[in-house]
């Protein structure tokens, strides 16, 4: 019998556990002007823009106290937990740093060349590929290939030079809400053992009080989820849906001359029974710093699928054996790996973006066009608009940021997402049934009326199918197992850290298999002697976790581990 992961939710009481109802006494807390939670592209764009505005207004800067802008980032350094394809629409970054040329982006090491040629293929089988005319969402001429991990490091440096206080290795674990207003966040404790006991190096978390709090946690982060519930921000919206991407960067002997996307169906199954929709990218990267020719290659799959044995990691490994890809990687070497989920619901799934004292930017607000796989430019733009909204409010002495929602609607973010608002939903019925309808929505640029609905990924009934039978065996040269992939992600989670993954431990085999195959880091295991049917116990090797976030979409909950734990991405 097919069972859905939503029937086995973990025990989480977000209102009690993740919302703190009272600030600590003044002498025990840190006071800052604006607290930005998440030092990714969106959060740092907000910091960068805010510091530009404050730099020209010393009076307001001074009113914000000793720390006008603080960025809280759980990774070892900004960029450490950031991953994207990424081919970026350049406009918002040019607007954010108007004096920086695209040549300088490349010299700084976060950009790798302008797209001049591109190709889209269908891969009907493991051997064949058919080039097709480039569909509108895949047109990338003039866009730039970037690494968001490297971009975040550059943005961190700019923010620090502008006067920001960047707290890396610090996870924000609670949102502080008093009388219906967000007053800041609390950071997580450090130095706890497996059972939560205090170790010798124990340091308790601290309250950070702020005039404004910006949630820039990436795809529906921990505090974002709590805020959405607390302030009913998703009321009347479609549910959020998710996709999972696994990426590698390869050093290659010869440059790739074009940007490539493939739309399957191989190695996914075309029958709608499997519920699989996904695709791949291969982007050329000329690394000006090292002089190397590199490529970014990745597989993205919607977390809507029904076959529990769907594994983005194994699909990518298998995809690399296709002659189209093998020729590009031949003689090359894998230099980076990582995985991350992204919000796929688009316009109708975006929550309300402001609440008293706080607002949402980037993926936290669901600002991604997954038809085109584009979110980086929206993250930057939304971060900038958030900064401008906060700055205007601070000058008025107000913490009412409600004008932000309208400003986003009227900006390129709202307009672009509106055009594709109904394009992706038909694909929840599968490629064959949903493809033509999705195509009509794309070519009409959103002119057809109506609101297409989404259903939650965790309500899909799962079955243990045969997608797994098509996966290649790792050869350690071109194809790899999950553990060697996690190894090169730089993951450095302490062996005796407390568990940060909330899942039920005894669940039907279909649900357990879903987690085992889905997790790109090999966190979940079913013991060999578990029964073939019925409920099984799941082992959770949480120290392998690369914090991709996918488990939150399929029946579990990722909470922030101790600050500094997790991967240390450099060029993803």
Ligand X SMILES: Cc1cc2nc3c(=O)[nH]c(=O)nc-3n(C[C@H](O)[C@H](O)[C@H](O)COP(=O)(O)OP(=O)(O)OC[C@H]3O[C@@H](n4cnc5c(N)ncnc54)[C@H](O)[C@@H]3O)c2cc1C
Residues that bind ligand X (CB under 6 A): 37-43, 72-75, 81-88, 148, 171-172, 216-218, 221-223, 245, 247, 298, 300, 340, 342, 362-363, 368, 373-377, 379, 560
CB of 300 to ligand SF4, least distance (A): 14
Distance from chain centroid for Cα 399: 28
CB 523 to ligand SF4: min, Å: 4
Query: Quick one: which of 548, 555, 560, 571 contacts ligand SF4 (CB under 6 A)?
Result: 548
Work out what residue 551 binds among ligand X, ligand SF4, none; the CB cut-off runs from 5 to 8 Å by kind: ligand SF4
| Footprint (CB under 6 A) of ligand SF4, residues 26-55 | none
Shortest Å distance, C-beta 231 to ligand SF4: 25
Helix (H) or strand (E) holding 509: helix 509-518
Binding of ligand SF4 by 550 (CB under 6 A): yes
Calculate the alpha carbon distances from 374 to 211, 344, 350, 497 in Å.
31, 10, 15, 35
Q: Which C-beta is closer to ligand X: that of 148 or that of 234?
A: 148
Residue 518 CB, shortest distance to ligand SF4, in Å, is: 6
* 549 contributes a contact to ligand SF4 by CB under 6 A: yes
Min CB(412)–ligand X separation in Å? 13
Put residue 333 in one of left, alpha, beta given phi > 0 → left and psi -120 to 50 → alpha: beta
Segment interacting with ligand SF4, rule: CB under 6 A, options 145-153, 189-197, 417-425, 519-527: 519-527
* Distance, CA of 482 to chain centre: 19
301 binds ligand SF4 (CB under 6 A): no
Closer by beta carbon to ligand X, 84 or else 419: 84
Least distance in angstroms from the C-beta of 554 to ligand SF4: 8
C-beta of residue 389 within 8 angstroms of C-beta of residue 359: yes
Taking CB within 5 to 8 Å according to partner kind, which of ligand SF4, ligand X, none is near residue 549? Answer: ligand SF4
Interface segment toward ligand SF4; rule CB under 6 A; list 82-90, 169-177, 374-382, 517-525:
517-525
Nearest distance from C-beta of residue 59 to ligand X, angstroms:
30
**Closer residue to ligand SF4 in complex, CB, 87/341:** 341
Q: How far is the CB of 179 from ligand X (least distance, A)?
A: 23
**DSSP assignment letter at 472:** P
* Residue closer to ligand X, measured from CB, 269 or 340: 340
| DSSP calls for 396-422 | HT----THHHHHHHHSHHHHHHHHTTT
Asked if 551 touches ligand SF4 (CB under 6 A), the answer is yes
CB burial of residue 374 (10 Å; 0-12, 13-18, 19+): buried
Distance CA(407)–CA(386), nearest Å, equals: 9
Q: Could you give phi then psi for residue 243, rounded to 5 degrees? A: -130, 155
d(CA 373, CA 138): 8
Q: Which does 479 bind (CB under 5 to 8 A by kind): ligand X, ligand SF4, none?
A: none
346 binds, among ligand X, ligand SF4, none (CB under 5 to 8 A by kind): none
Q: Which does 519 bind (CB under 5 to 8 A by kind): ligand SF4, ligand X, none?
A: ligand SF4
251, 290 contact by CB (below 8 A): no
* Per-residue contact flags (x/-) with ligand SF4 for residues 465 to 504, judged by CB under 6 A: ------------------------------------x---
Per partner kind, with CB cut-offs from 5 to 8 A, the member of ligand X, ligand SF4, none near residue 408 is none
Tell me whether the omega of the peptide bond preceding residue 267 falls within 30 degrees of 0, making it cis: yes
467 contact partners, CB below 8 Å, separation of at least 6? 268, 269, 274, 276, 307, 309, 310, 311
171 binds ligand SF4 (CB under 6 A): no
Asked if 518 contacts 310 with a C-beta cutoff of 8 angstroms, the reply is: yes
CB atoms near residue 108 (< 10 Å): 17
- Report d(CA 169, CA 171) in Å as an integer: 7
Sort 141 into a burial class: Cβ within 10 Å, 0-12 / 13-18 / 19+: exposed
Residues that bind ligand SF4 (CB under 6 A): 501, 518-521, 523, 545-551, 558
């Amino acid at each position: 019998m097919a069972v859905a992961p939503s029937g086995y939710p973990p025990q989480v009481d977000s209102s009690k556990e993740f919302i703190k109802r009272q600030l600590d006494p003044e002498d025990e807390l840190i006071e800052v002007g604006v607290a930005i939670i998440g030092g990714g592209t969106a959060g740092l764009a907000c910091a960068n823009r805010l510091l530009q505005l404050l730099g020209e207004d010393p009076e307001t800067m001074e009113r914000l106290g000793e720390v006008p802008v603080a960025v809280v980032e759980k990774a070892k350094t900004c960029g450490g937990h950031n991953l994207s394809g990424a081919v970026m629409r350049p406009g918002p970054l040019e607007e954010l740093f108007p004096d920086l040329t695209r040549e300088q982006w490349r010299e700084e090491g976060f950009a790798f060349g302008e797209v001049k040629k591109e190709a889209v293929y269908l891969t009907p089988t493991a051997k064949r590929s058919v080039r097709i005319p480039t569909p509108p969402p895949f047109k990338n001429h003039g866009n730039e290939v970037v690494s968001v991990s490297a971009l975040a490091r550059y943005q961190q440096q700019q923010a620090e030079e502008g006067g920001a206080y960047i707290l890396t290795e610090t996870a924000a674990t609670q949102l502080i809400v008093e009388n219906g207003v967000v007053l800041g966040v609390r950071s997580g404790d450090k130095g706890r053992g497996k059972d939560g006991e205090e170790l010798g190096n124990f340091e308790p978390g601290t309250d950070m009080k702020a005039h404004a709090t910006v949630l820039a946690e990436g795809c529906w982060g921990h505090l974002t989820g709590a805020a959405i519930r607390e302030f009913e921000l998703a009321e009347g919206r479609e549910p959020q849906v998710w996709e999972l991407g696994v990426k590698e960067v390869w050093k290659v002997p010869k440059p790739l001359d074009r940007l490539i996307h493939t739309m399957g169906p191989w190695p996914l199954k075309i029958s709608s029974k499997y519920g699989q929709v996904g695709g791949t990218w291969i982007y050329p990267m000329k690394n000006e710093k090292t002089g190397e020719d590199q490529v970014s290659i990745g597989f993205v799959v919607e977390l809507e699928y029904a076959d529990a044995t769907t594994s983005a990691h194994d699909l990518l490994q298998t995809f690399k054996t296709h002659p189209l890809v093998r020729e590009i990687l031949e003689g090359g070497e894998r230099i980076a790996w990582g995985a991350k989920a992204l919000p796929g619901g688009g316009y109708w799934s975006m929550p309300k973006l402001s609440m008293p004292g706080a607002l949402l930017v980037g993926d936290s607000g669901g600002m991604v066009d997954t038809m085109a796989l584009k979110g980086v430019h929206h993250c930057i733009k939304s971060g900038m608009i958030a900064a401008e909204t906060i700055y205007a409010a601070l000058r008025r002495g107000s913490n009412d940021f409600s004008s932000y929602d309208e400003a986003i609607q009227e900006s390129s973010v709202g307009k672009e997402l509106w055009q594709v608002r109904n394009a992706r939903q038909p694909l929840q019925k599968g490629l064959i049934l949903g493809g033509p309808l999705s195509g009509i929505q794309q070519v009409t640029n959103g002119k057809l009326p109506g609101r297409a609905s989404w259903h939650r990924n965790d309500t899909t009934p799962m079955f243990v199918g045969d997608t797994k039978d098509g996966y290649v065996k790792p050869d350690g040269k071109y194809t790899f197992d999950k553990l060697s992939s996690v190894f090169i992600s730089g993951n450095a989670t302490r062996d005796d850290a407390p568990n940060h993954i909330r899942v039920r431990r005894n669940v039907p085999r279909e649900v357990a298999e879903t987690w085992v195959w889905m997790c790109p880091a090999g966190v979940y295991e079913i013991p060999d002697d578990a029964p073939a049917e019925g409920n099984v116990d799941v082992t959770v090797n949480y120290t392998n976790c690369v914090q991709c976030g996918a488990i939150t979409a399929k029946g579990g909950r990722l909470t922030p581990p101790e600050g500094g734990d997790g991967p240390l991405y450099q060029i993803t």
